Amino acid sequence: MLNLMSRLKKSLQKTQSSLTQRMSHIVLKNTIDEDEIEELEEILITADMGVPITMELIDSVRAKVKASKDMTDDIYGFLRESLRTYLPDEWKETNKVKVLLVFGVNGSGKTTTIAKLAKKYKDEGRKVLLAAADTFRAAAVEQLRVWSKRLEIPMIEKADGADPSSVIYEALEGMKARGCDLLIIDTAGRLHTNKNLMDEMSKMKRTIAQHVSSSELRTQMILDATTGNNGLMQARQFDKTIGIDELILAKFDSSAKGGFIFSIARELKLPVKYLGIGEGVDDLLPFSRDDFIEALFER
Amino acid sequence: MFDSLGDKFNNVFRYIRGTGKMSEKNIDEAVRSVKMALLEADVDYKVVKDFVADVKKRVIGQEVTKNILPEQQFVKIIHEELTEIMGKSNIDLTCANIGTTYLMVVGIQGSGKTTACGKLAFLLQSQKKKVLLVSTDIRRPAAITQLKILAKKANASFFDPEGEKDPCKIVKNVSEYVRHKDYDYVIFDTAGRLELDEPLMKELTQIKIILKPHEILFVADSMMGQSALKVARSFDENIGVDGVILNKLDGDTRGGVALSVKKVLGKPIKFMGLGEKLVDLEVFHPERLASRILGMGDVVSLVEKAKKTVGDKEAEYFEKKIRKANLDFDDFLRQLQYIKKMGSLKDILAMLPGANKLKNIPTDDKQMVHVEAMILSMTPYERQHPHMINPSRRKRIAKGSGCEVNQVNRLLKQFETMKKMMKKVTQGKSKDIMKNMMSRF
């Protein structure tokens, strides 16, 4: 765990050192000038925090500096606290979950993340079954099949172009016979603006609801950490269509900072469960709110 | 796409129109709104800063010309600046003088490289070029199979690496293979890699040294945020990028990347990806995109798209019909079918000038199915003589199409309005309408 934490910090630090340097002088005086406001704006915007949150934070920093009597007041501490209020509380794992429905826009990293999740649950002693419900993209089934073989986890598949819900139906029916207690479903990438594909997604959820109770299903949306403000629009639409239980932020080992999760948390109150930090099957890091923010403001 | 940015600009212009002139203060206000709109569109922070400074300088330095509304001046300036940033005009692919042209496609994971390779092959094949597709992606499971399937669909040739696990060796084998073949293009797909991954970036450099490609295309996801330029720059610094393919523009991303890439990288955007199908790749036209951002529509693209699906003869026929304003339901049905071929109604609306102001317009393609069903439930006589459709006929049509009578009523009413509009446009009042439309911008 310590090892994972240091990996997270390492991946964040490369951009954070500049942040600390640039902001440390603000606390030494009781005023904040327009250049400094602009600097703060740049830091927050380039972290993909989005305009509304950036403006909110800047306003509160302005007010804070103005009201501050104590020269040692800590702007970081203040920002850290403010950011914490955006993210929901820590999320608790329950053992009830029987079905994981994984979705997201094209190229967000669904299949790779599913391999990581499957490995994790297998290691925890769960009997995992994979369902290849991406019957649209060329070779998507083959991609999951390679993982299925590597991880020695069984997989349900149908011919290309089959109705994804029928794949899911078959997998749900086959779970018991195979002695599996966790089904992980890979779905085709779809843009949230494509109504037909979103309808297809609702149908998949209905199929699942006929087999398991809502507490046994967990819906996970994969978001690409390099996304900008569109991340919120994606989450908004998927949440509206099928309801998101939790988010997974993939490609966090890039130089992107994934600040858009604050906008999503603010509007939709959705927690981030994991960070994807590489292409290896173990490169999945449990998300912790405090560590995430702490690492952002590491001195 | 770009709807919200267009809306934002429109708000700014309405504001200026409200005040009647451009003063220092309302310029500041307007410029700030422009800045926020661009930032919300994920345009790179530094690019926005420069852009806003340039615009302000130009606006302040300008005399307010009589007879031109201040907002029109503002639009003109912003449009020019946007076009300037995105590059002046579309630049073709670099070709070999003689023989085979080698293209190399690079980018981070999930940006859409493999799909883009398939689309590019399809586009070139449709121009009667002979294309060979090669995958050097030995990393992602089934990436090679994916390209093989796409090659088949695009009617292009595919090079089978036969289990070779070294990308450089694959490239060498291809060079041998194509020596006495007459391929016009060989397109190399590469494994996705993050900009910070040094070993993989080095691998890319090695591939480049062996291949000596005529053009390296960087594939960018248009939904990317502020890190987009860091990523693009890293690829450019490591192997040198010649052009950009901007992908996934069919969503609701405001695609600020389009503005940033050219400005910071100095590399042109050559193509844009507008969907998952092989046909969904278009040549990038900066002026049109700038217009689209401003909510001025993209009529040229629409006309081209229509020509591609409808064909010249048909287009001529409709033009005549429209000019005479004697359109009937048979024509309407045919048009509907063409629209269906052209893509979703929403995409088409996005290209129409002023369409971003038509809120609540049905962009649901299912409604088009209803309309089609209703027309198909009419007799040929009814289709040619819509005014003959009396209440009992309406009832029958509703029954036949599984719709409500009020839906049939609405359709007939819409059809009448459309005909009236066409008459106006074609009987010399078009100037007024155009003027009316222009004043909205």
The closest of B211, B441, B41 to A45, measured between CA atoms, is B41
List the structure tokens of B273: 């990806």
Residue B428 has pLDDT above 50, yes or no: no
Rounded distance between C-alpha atoms, residue A149 and residue A159, angstroms = 18
Sheet holding B157-159, edge to edge: B157-159, B131-135, B185-189, B101-106, B215-221, B243-247, B269-273, B281-283
Number of H helices, E strands in chain A: 11, 8
Tens digits of per-residue pLDDT, B132-145? 999 999 999 999 99
Residues of chain B with Cβ-Cβ distance to A230 below 8 Å are 42, 223, 225, 251-254
| B221 or B326, higher pLDDT | B221
Residues of chain A with Cβ-Cβ distance to B110 below 8 Å are 106-109, 224, 251
Answer yes or no: do B146 and A50 touch at CB < 8 A.
no
Residue B22 lies in a domain: yes
Mean pLDDT of B329-350: 70
Residue where one domain finishes, among candidates B262, B291, B320: B291
Residues of chain B with Cβ-Cβ distance to A106 below 8 Å are 110, 112, 248, 276
Using the Cβ of A280 and the Cβ atoms of chain B, whether some distance falls under 8 Å is answered with no
**Mapping DSSP to helix (H, G, I), strand (E, B) and coil, where does residue A234 land?**
helix
The closest of B225, B219, B269, B268 to B248, measured between CA atoms, is B219
Tens digits of per-residue pLDDT, A220-268? 999 999 999 999 999 999 999 999 999 999 999 888 889 999 999 999 9
Q: For residue B39, how far is the Cα from the chain centroid?
A: 21
Cβ contacts of A275 within 8 Å, gap of 6 or more: A8, A225, A248, A249, A252, A284, A285, A287
Rounded distance between C-alpha atoms, residue A60 and residue A201, angstroms = 40
Cβ contacts of A190 within 8 Å, gap of 6 or more: A103, A105, A106, A197, A198, A200, A201
Q: What's the pLDDT at B431?
A: 45
Residue B241 lies in a domain: yes
- Which of A44, A229, A232 best probes binding to B when mutated, by most B CB atoms within 10 angstroms? A229
Q: Which residues pair with A285 in a beta bridge?
A: A275
Residue B95 lies in a domain: no
Q: Choose among A45, A194, A230: nearest Cβ to B45.
A: A45
In this prediction, residue B19 has a pLDDT band, given cuts at 50, 70 and 90, of low
Radius of gyration of chain A, Cα coordinates, nearest whole angstrom:
21
Question: What's the distance, Cα to Cα, between the start and end of chain A in Å?
Answer: 21
The phi and psi torsions of A154 (rounded to 5 degrees) equal: -65, 155
Cβ contacts of A197 within 8 Å, gap of 6 or more: A188, A190, A191
- Do B79 and B116 lie in one domain? The reply is no
- Do B283 and B362 lie in one domain? The reply is no
Strands A217-224 and A99-103: parallel
Residues of chain B with Cβ-Cβ distance to A195 below 8 Å are 364-365
Contacts with B, A 122-141, CB within 8 Å: 136-140
Q: Which of A228-232, B154-158, B391-395, B416-420 has the lowest mean pLDDT?
A: B416-420
Number of domains in chain B: 3
CATH of the domain at B381: 1.10.260.30
Average pLDDT, chain B: 80
- Do B224 and B129 lie in one domain? The reply is yes
Q: What's the pLDDT at B367?
A: 75
- Do B229 and B344 lie in one domain? The reply is no
Contacts with B, A 185-224, CB within 8 Å: 191-196, 224
Rounded distance between C-alpha atoms, residue B327 and residue B336, angstroms = 13
Whether the CB-CB separation of B16 and B70 falls below 8 Å is answered with yes
Answer yes or no: do A142 and B145 touch at CB < 8 A.
yes
Rounded distance between C-alpha atoms, residue A198 and residue A190, angstroms = 8
Closest approach of B111 to chain A, Cα-based (Å)? 6
Q: What's the pLDDT at B416?
A: 81
- Do B62 and B114 lie in one domain? The reply is no
Rounded distance between C-alpha atoms, residue B405 and residue A47, angstroms = 54
CATH of the domain at B20: 1.20.120.140
- Which of A230, A240, A260 best probes binding to B when mutated, by most B CB atoms within 10 angstroms? A230
Q: For residue B34, how far is the Cα from the chain centroid?
A: 22
Answer yes or no: do B223 and A253 touch at CB < 8 A.
no
Cβ contacts of A171 within 8 Å, gap of 6 or more: A129, A131, A156, A183, A185
Q: Using the 8-state DSSP alphabet, how is residue A90 labeled?
A: P
Question: What's the distance, Cα to Cα, between the start and end of chain B in Å?
Answer: 18
Domains and CATH numbers, chain A: 2-86 (1.20.120), 99-296 (3.40.50.300)
Rounded distance between C-alpha atoms, residue B150 and residue B279, angstroms = 12
C-alpha separations of B86 from B80, B246, B272 in Å: 10, 12, 13
Closest approach of B232 to chain A, Cα-based (Å)? 12
Residue B93 lies in a domain: no
Q: What's the pLDDT at A208?
A: 97
Answer yes or no: do B224 and A257 touch at CB < 8 A.
no
Convert B35-49 to b/e letters by CB count within 10 Å (16 or more is b): bbbbbbbbbbbebbb
List the structure tokens of B179: 């020596």
Find the residue in B nearest to A193 (Cα).
B251
- Do B377 and B243 lie in one domain? The reply is no
| Side chain identity at residue B187, one-letter code | I
B436, with CB counted inside 10 A (0-12, 13-18, 19+), is exposed
Residue where one domain finishes, among candidates B86, B115, B134: B86
Q: For residue B287, how far is the Cα from the chain centroid?
A: 12
Place of tokens 């949230």: A192
Contacts with A, B 142-201, CB within 8 Å: 142-143, 145-146, 148-150, 153, 194-196
Tens digits of per-residue pLDDT, B346-404? 666 665 555 544 444 555 667 778 888 899 999 989 988 888 899 999 999 999 999 89
Residue B96 lies in a domain: no
Q: Which residues pair with A274 in a beta bridge?
A: A248, A286
CATH of the domain at B159: 3.40.50.300
- Do B127 and B275 lie in one domain? The reply is yes
Rounded distance between C-alpha atoms, residue B248 and residue B256, angstroms = 13
- Do B22 and B168 lie in one domain? The reply is no
In this prediction, residue B27 has a pLDDT band, given cuts at 50, 70 and 90, of confident
Tens digits of per-residue pLDDT, B42-83? 999 998 898 888 888 877 766 555 555 565 666 677 777 877
Residues of chain A with Cβ-Cβ distance to B139 below 8 Å are 279
Residue where one domain finishes, among candidates B241, B258, B291: B291
List the structure tokens of B441: 């911008």
Whether the CB-CB separation of A166 and A178 falls below 8 Å is answered with no
The closest of B149, B145, B188 to B168, measured between CA atoms, is B188
Residues of chain B with Cβ-Cβ distance to A144 below 8 Å are 141
Rounded distance between C-alpha atoms, residue A61 and residue A63, angstroms = 5
Answer yes or no: do A226 and B150 touch at CB < 8 A.
no
Residue B97 has pLDDT above 70, yes or no: yes
The closest of B272, B265, B184 to B220, measured between CA atoms, is B272
Three-class HEC string of chain B: CCHHHHHHHHHHHHHHHHHCCCCHHHHHHHHHHHHHHHHHCCCCHHHHHHHHHHHHHHHHHCCCCCCCCHHHHHHHHHHHHHHHHHCCCCCCCCCCCCCCEEEEEECCCCCCHHHHHHHHHHHHHHCCCCEEEEECCCCCCCHHHHHHHHHHHCCCEEECCCCCCCHHHHHHHHHHHHCCCCCCEEEEECCCCCCCCHHHHHHHHHHHHHHCCCEEEEEEECCECCCHHHHHHHHHHHHCCCEEEEECCCCCCCCHHHHHHHHHHCCCEEEEECCCCCCCEEECCHHHHHHHHCCCCCHHHHHHHHHHHHCHHHHHHHHHHHHHCCCCHHHHHHHHHHHHHHCCHHHHHHCCCCHHHCCCCCCCHHHHHHHHHHHHCCCHHHHHCHHHCCHHHHHHHHHHHCCCHHHHHHHHHHHHHHHHHHHHHHHHHHHHHHHHHHCCC
Q: What's the pLDDT at B288?
A: 66
The closest of B269, B429, B265, B249 to B343, measured between CA atoms, is B249
Whether the CB-CB separation of B265 and B114 falls below 8 Å is answered with no
Q: What's the pLDDT at A1?
A: 40
Rounded distance between C-alpha atoms, residue B117 and residue B134, angstroms = 9
Residues of chain A with Cβ-Cβ distance to B221 below 8 Å are 107, 224, 226-227
Cβ contacts of B183 within 8 Å, gap of 6 or more: B100, B130, B131, B132, B157
Structural domain span for residue B277: 101-291
Closest approach of A72 to chain B, Cα-based (Å)? 31
- Do B164 and B64 lie in one domain? The reply is no
Q: Choose among A109, A230, A260: nearest Cβ to B110.
A: A109
Length of chain A equals: 299
- Do B284 and B303 lie in one domain? The reply is no
Find the residue in B nearest to A228 (Cα).
B225
Contacts with B, A 47-106, CB within 8 Å: 47-48, 50-51, 105-106
Rounded distance between C-alpha atoms, residue B1 and residue B273, angstroms = 13
Using the Cβ of A143 and the Cβ atoms of chain B, whether some distance falls under 8 Å is answered with yes
| B266 or A294, higher pLDDT | B266
Q: What's the pLDDT at A206?
A: 96
In order along its 299 residues, chain A shows pLDDT tens digits of 445 555 555 555 554 555 555 565 555 556 677 887 888 888 889 889 999 999 999 999 888 888 876 655 677 778 888 999 998 766 666 668 999 999 999 999 999 999 999 999 999 999 999 999 999 999 999 999 999 999 999 999 998 889 999 999 999 999 989 999 999 999 999 999 888 899 999 999 999 999 999 999 999 999 999 999 999 999 999 999 999 999 999 999 888 889 999 999 999 999 999 999 999 999 999 998 887 877 665 43
- Do B121 and B150 lie in one domain? The reply is yes
Residues of chain A with Cβ-Cβ distance to B148 below 8 Å are 139
- Do B260 and B317 lie in one domain? The reply is no
In this prediction, residue B94 has a pLDDT band, given cuts at 50, 70 and 90, of confident
Whether the CB-CB separation of A277 and A253 falls below 8 Å is answered with yes
The phi and psi torsions of A220 (rounded to 5 degrees) equal: -120, 125
List the structure tokens of B99: 């023989």
Answer yes or no: do B225 and A196 touch at CB < 8 A.
no
Rounded distance between C-alpha atoms, residue A279 and residue B78, angstroms = 42
**Mapping DSSP to helix (H, G, I), strand (E, B) and coil, where does residue A220 land?**
strand
Using the Cβ of A149 and the Cβ atoms of chain B, whether some distance falls under 8 Å is answered with no
**Mapping DSSP to helix (H, G, I), strand (E, B) and coil, where does residue A108 land?**
coil
In this prediction, residue B207 has a pLDDT band, given cuts at 50, 70 and 90, of very high
Rounded distance between C-alpha atoms, residue B86 and residue B292, angstroms = 13
Q: How many CB pairs under 8 A join A and B?
A: 142
Residue B94 lies in a domain: no
Residue B189 lies in a domain: yes
Mean pLDDT of B223-239: 92
Answer yes or no: do A136 and B276 touch at CB < 8 A.
yes
In this structure, how many other beta carbons lie within 10 angstroms of the beta carbon of residue B427?
10
